[in-house]
Structure 1
Amino acid sequence: MELRVLLVLAVLVLTATAGLVWRSRNGRFVAARAVPDATAADPVLTAADLGAPLGTAATFLQLSSEACAPCRSTAAVLRALAAERSGVAHVEVRAEERLDLVRRFSVLRTPTVLVLDGSGAVRGRMSGATTRAQAVDALDRCPATADV
């Protein structure tokens, strides 16, 4: 009996720890790594790739799925921020319709937001529900978009 109680407590602690780590990573901006091969180009997306115009300063490219509640809240945050800041655009695409982008950028969960500079180069990414503060932080930390 005592062993079962210890086992249940251990599972609860591990589950709580995993949940806290998961939650702490939601919406966190991660800058794009420099490409190690000098001959390879940074990943760049065009308006034709997305089917929508890019922002002149920055674009939030959000990969979402139909049955995703955090996707809706993230879209509302990014749409509002793009409406307030000149040169910033928000483009939302369905991950299930754009598997080419999902594979190309190793998207493992939705929402995933790629932060593009004015030329369409990927400067970073955020995964999970994103708050306004996190989105503003992403713009500030993204070198090519910091003046937006």
Structure 2
Amino acid sequence: MAGWWVAPATPALATTIGVIRLRRDGRVRDSDGTRLSADDLGAVLGERATLVQFSTAFCQPCRATRRILADVSALVPGVSHIEIDAESRLDLVRRLGVVRTPTVLVLDSTGAVVKQAAGLPRKADVLVALAGATSEDR
């Protein structure tokens, strides 16, 4: 009878964890400035910035992220979007500490990672991150 509290506490705990995860999902954060080259990514960097997306084949949020990043790269001149299959580039995934997909890295014109997001980012957040990556006084 001592474990009577487990039944009502389990849904409350699950709800709390879900709310915390939703609040953090896709949030754009500062990054450590790791530099990536065109050779690392297997594609040419954008003239002003590059959006790098790590995806997997069965990731539903990756599809929505792909659409958002394609829209943003079409909207902002000099920005390219590179999608990387995380399963085929485990070396890069480990090096960058990618733990879930989608993960988005925002690189400046030199290839330095200035922002990153794990989960589905909002279009407005990506645009703000790009503004910081492409500003002249960075």
Q: TM-score, normalised by structure 2?
A: 0.91
Of 55, 67, 87 in structure 2, the residue corresponding to residue 64 of structure 1 is 55
- Say whether residues 1:145 and 2:134 are aligned partners: yes
Identity %: 43
Alpha-carbon distance in 1 for matches of 2:22, 2:58 = 19
Alpha-carbon distance in 2 for matches of 1:22, 1:60 = 23
Alpha-carbon distance in 2 for matches of 1:15, 1:110 = 22
Alpha-carbon distance in 2 for matches of 1:24, 1:138 = 18
Map 1:46-61 to 2 at 5 A. Answer: 46-61=37-52
- Say whether residues 1:130 and 2:121 are aligned partners: yes
Residue 56 of structure 1: CA displacement?
1.2
Alpha-carbon distance in 1 for matches of 2:43, 2:78 = 14
Q: Is the deviation greater in 43-52 or in 65-74?
A: 43-52
Show CA shifts across 1:111-146 (max 9, x none): 011110001011121000112122112223x3x324
Tell me the equivalent position of 1:7: 6
Alpha-carbon distance in 1 for matches of 2:8, 2:126 = 37
Tell me the equivalent position of 1:93: 84
Alpha-carbon distance in 2 for matches of 1:57, 1:20 = 36
Residue 3 of structure 1: CA displacement?
5.0
- Say whether residues 1:118 and 2:109 are aligned partners: yes
User: What is the CA RMSD across the aligned residues, in angstroms?
Assistant: 1.7
Q: One-letter code of the match for 1:8?
A: A
Tell me the equivalent position of 2:96: 105
Alpha-carbon distance in 1 for matches of 2:96, 2:76 = 26
Alpha-carbon distance in 2 for matches of 1:2, 1:84 = 60
Alpha-carbon distance in 2 for matches of 1:24, 1:98 = 28
Tell me the equivalent position of 2:36: 45
Unaligned runs of 5+ in 1: 34-41
Q: Quick check: 2:28–2:121 contact (8 Å CA) kept in 1?
A: no
Unaligned runs of 5+ in 2: none
- Say whether residues 1:75 and 2:66 are aligned partners: yes
Alpha-carbon distance in 1 for matches of 2:16, 2:129 = 26
